[in-house]
Structure 1
Amino acid sequence: MAEKNFFLGMNKPEDSVNLNETEKKHTPVIEAPDNIKAGEPFEVTVIVGTILHVMEPAHHIQWIDVYAGENYLTKVVFTPGFSKPKATLTVVLDSIGKTSLKAVERCNIHGMWENTKNISVV
């Protein structure tokens, strides 16, 4: 059986409850309230991996993109050896209803990985 090419498409955990070692190190973890008030700021923290990913010159997280629904919020770029793959930002959403936060990260060896968290704006 051929080794998986992580650079083909977007990577996601096969089973979000039982992550394998690679998924534990690459799946973005999104920390944010489940319910937020429209127009009021709230914090979103994205950490790469339930096991924090290494940040060495030969193997590191290059960046994280964050979205609210289809709206692009930001890109955080990391420098190996000087940072950890974690970012916290303050977000304000005005549209009432259900939406999702999405984080996409890129590892220089294992490609792009994404995860989402559903939230409600009241």
Structure 2
Amino acid sequence: MVAAGLRQDTSVTPLAVANYAQEQGYYSEAGTSWDLMTTGCEQFGIQGEELALGESSVKEQLESGHPIICSMGPGTFTIEGHYIVLSGWKNGMIEIHDPNSVSRSKKLWAYGELEPQIKNMWVYSVK
């Protein structure tokens, strides 16, 4: 989602990323390696860097047009692990894209609802 959106490149599909991740060792039975979020993403013309938890840093990045991928732990989005994209800041709330849920993607979220479930996050820009 992030690479396709930032680069306006419809060839960057979930299948293309999944195939690349598997071929390059970023995916195993344990799931997707966090290295895909920083090193692996360069293959798709974007730069990712780890972002420390904090509402002010999330707000700043989203207001600057930089999407954020979050690795989510158990809670609202998953029972084990799941990735979502924070895509915008609107009226003090966060717009998200959850590939598993249209209804959760249509809702605006308070940072406080998300933070306890975030295991890690990365912010992106075009290389």
Give me the TM-score of the superposition, normalised by structure 1: 0.29
Higher-Rg member (1/2): 1
Which has more strand, going by share of residues? 1
Which has more helix, going by share of residues? 2
Instruction: Indicate the structure whose relative CO is greater, using CA pairs within 8 Å and at least 6 residues apart.
Output: 1
